[in-house]
Structure 1
Amino acid sequence: MMTIEALRALKTCCIGLTSLATAMMMTTMPAQAAGDLLVAPTRVVLDGDRGTEVILNNIGSETATYRISLELRRMTADGRLEEVTEDQANEIEQAAKAMIRYAPRRVTLPPNQPQAIRLGVRAPEGLPDGEYRVHLLFRAIPETRSVTDQTVPNGGFTIALTPIYGVTIPIIVRYGNLQATAAIANGRMEKDADGQSFAFDLSRSGDRSTYGEIRITKPGIDEPVMIARGIAVYPEVTKRTVSLPVPPEIAAQLNGQISVAYYESANDGGALIAKTDMVIR
C-alpha cells in the first residue's frame, strides 16, 4: 500500500503542554510542516459560533518568529488553489474573511515550544446559510542580520538568499443544514516528464465542500493499492481533476479492473462518499 500526502509530514513531537486537551490535539490530529514550523490540525471546520485552537510548534533548533494572516483562495478545475485579492473577492469570500477572529497575529517560538492560536467566528446578523472559507497563513519572518564587509574577488558582491517558509490551512464555517454528494468518473493513466499518474474526474453537487481520502482497490487484494488523503472539492467548483503520481511498480497493479472510492476523513466519521468500478487499459 502506498500513501500519498501532498506537503504533509506526520511527525512525533515531545513537547510539554500545560493543557491536556491541547496535548491530545497535537498527538492525534494530522500535522502540516514547512521549514521548521509544524501546524495542527491541517483543516478546521466550525459549525455556528463555536471557536477552536490551532497549535504551532517550532521543530527547529533556533528561535523563530511567524506572522499569521488570512488569505482568500479559490479552487480551480485542476484542484489548484489560486490566491484571491481584495478587489476580486465576491460577497461570500468577503463575508468569510470578515467573520473570522484570531489571536495572536505574530508569535516568537523557541525550539520545541508550542503556541495556541485562538480562532473564533463573529457572524453578522442575517447571514445566509452556506459554507464560508478562508485560509490561515503562517509565514516565517526572516531574522535580520547585520551587513558586514566581505572581500570578494574582482570587486564583485555576494547575495545571500533566505528562504521564507509558510503553511496555509483552510478555515471553514458552515451555517445551516448543508449537504453534498460526489461522483467519480473517467479514470485514466497519464504520462508526462515526471512519470506516470492516475487521473480521474471528481464531481460535487450540493451547498458545501467534500473532503476525504481516495482508496484504490483491486479484486482479490485485501489492502488498497493506493491511498491519497486530503482530497477536497470546494463549493466554487462542481468538478475537478484529481491526478495522483504513480511509481512504476504500482502502475502495473492499476491495469485492468479497479475500484475507486472516496471516503470522509476519520475525524469526520469515515463514511463512504462515492465509489465506482472501472477498467484501466
Structure 2
Amino acid sequence: MKLKIILLITIVINLTSFAHANLLVTPTRVELDNKRDKSAVFSLVNKSNQTSRYEIYLEDKQLLPSGEFEIIDSETSTTSLASFTRYSPRRVSLTPEQGTRVRLAVRPPKDIKQGEYRSYIVFHQIPLAPTSSEQTTDKTVSLSLSVTAYLRIAIPVIMRVGELTAQLNIANHQISDIEGQQQLIVSIARQGERSSYGDIEVFDAKSDELIGSSKNAAIYTEMTHRAFAVTLNNKIKPGTDLVIKYVENDGLFKPQTIEQKITL
C-alpha cells in the first residue's frame, strides 16, 4: 500500500477590469471634491457559482501612452489620496449572488493644495482556506493540477480641489484597417489642471449619421495627449467628410464639447 499524494498547484492570474462576469462592482468611477462630496459607497455582488473572498485596498498608478497602467509609490506620489482616505470593510467573503457594500470616505487636510488627486480602490480575489485530503491505494502516486484565475478590479477615485479647468483639442487622426474592420485613430490633446473624461463620436458630415463612438475616454493629468481607436460601423470611402466630436462628462467643471471636420 502506498500513500496517494495530491499536490495542488495554483496559478494566479490578475485581471484588471471595471466589470467582470464573476463580480459586479458599482459605481465604476468615483469623482469627489473637498467640500460636499467626500464619500462613496460601492456595491459588490458575487455573480459566480461559488463562494469567493476579496481583499480590498488602495493603490496608486499612472497611465502610460501604451494604455497600460504602472503602479507607483503612494508615499512619493504628490497626487495620492491614500494617506487621507478611509474605507471599510477591508476583506469580504461572498456566497453566490450575495452582495455587500464598501464605504469610502476622504478626509483631506485643511491646507491641501488646489489640484486633482487620484487613487484606485482595488477588489482583489484571494484564495479561500486551503483543504487537503488523503487516500490510500495500491501502488499509486498522483499529481493534481488546479489552475485558478483570481480577479482584480481597480476603480478610480478622483478628488478635485478647486475649480479646475482643462484645454482640449483634437490633435491628430488617421484611418486604420484591422482584419477588414475600419478604425479611426483619434488623438486628443489636453492641458490644464484637471483630467478629462467623456465620449468620442464620429458622424458622417453629409447625413449626420453616427458611424462610430468610443465611450468613457479618459485623459489623466499625467498625460498631455492620448490616442483612441474608434471602430466604424461601415467602411468609409476615400473623400468622405466626417465630423469628430468629443463631449466631456457634464459632471466636470466647465465641461467642453470640441469637434473637427475631416476628409478621409
What's the TM-score once normalised by structure 1's chain length?
A: 0.76
CA distance in 1, matches of 2:194, 2:254: 17
2:195 to 209, 219, 224: 209
Task: Give the match for residue 69 of structure 2.
Answer: 81
CA distance in 2, matches of 1:159, 1:131: 47
* Structure 2 counterparts to residues 172-183 of structure 1, below 5 A: 172-183=158-169
By how many angstroms is 1:271 displaced? 5.4
By how many angstroms is 1:250 displaced? 2.8
Deviation digits for residues 144-166 of structure 1 (CA, Å, limit 9, x no counterpart): 34234589x99663321110011
Task: Give the match for residue 261 of structure 1.
Answer: 245
The one-letter amino acid of 1:169's match is I
- The percent identity for this pair of structures is 29
By how many angstroms is 1:92 displaced? 2.5
By how many angstroms is 1:83 displaced? 1.7
Gaps of 5+ in 1: 1-6, 9-31
The one-letter amino acid of 2:79's match is I
Deviation digits for residues 5-35 of structure 1 (CA, Å, limit 9, x no counterpart): xx98xxxxxxxxxxxxxxxxxxxxxxx4224
Task: Give the match for residue 90 of structure 1.
Answer: 77
- 1:262 and 1:178, CA in 2 relative to 1: closer, same or farther beyond 3 A? same
- 1:167 and 1:238, CA in 2 relative to 1: closer, same or farther beyond 3 A? same
1:277 to 244, 261, 264: 261
Task: Give the match for residue 236 of structure 2.
Answer: 252
CA distance in 2, matches of 1:172, 1:97: 11
CA distance in 2, matches of 1:269, 1:200: 24
What's the TM-score once normalised by structure 2's chain length?
A: 0.81
The one-letter amino acid of 1:80's match is E
Matched, 1:110 2:95: yes
2:125 to 131, 134, 140: 140
- 1:214 and 1:253, CA in 2 relative to 1: closer, same or farther beyond 3 A? farther
CA distance in 1, matches of 2:98, 2:185: 41
Gaps of 5+ in 2: 1-15
CA distance in 1, matches of 2:118, 2:152: 19
2:47 to 42, 48, 59: 59
Higher-helix-fraction structure: 1
Higher-strand-fraction structure: 2
- 1:267 and 1:55, CA in 2 relative to 1: closer, same or farther beyond 3 A? farther
Matched, 1:68 2:56: yes
CA distance in 1, matches of 2:253, 2:239: 31
Which structure has the greater CA radius of gyration? Answer: 2
CA distance in 2, matches of 1:277, 1:117: 45
Deviation digits for residues 128-187 of structure 1 (CA, Å, limit 9, x no counterpart): 000000011111122234234589x99663321110011111000111111112111221
The one-letter amino acid of 2:146's match is A
Task: Give the match for residue 10 of structure 2.
Answer: none
1:185 to 166, 171, 186: 171
CA distance in 1, matches of 2:225, 2:20: 29
Task: Give the match for residue 8 of structure 2.
Answer: none
Matched, 1:101 2:51: no
Give the conservation status (yes or no) of the 8 Å contact 1:34–1:166. Answer: no
- 1:194 and 1:155, CA in 2 relative to 1: closer, same or farther beyond 3 A? farther
By how many angstroms is 1:265 displaced? 3.4
2:149 to 135, 154, 163: 163
Moved over 3 A (4+): 147-151, 153-156, 191-197, 220-223, 251-255, 265-272
The count of aligned residue pairs is: 245
* Structure 2 counterparts to residues 10-49 of structure 1, below 5 A: 32-49=18-35
Give the conservation status (yes or no) of the 8 Å contact 2:164–2:253. Answer: no
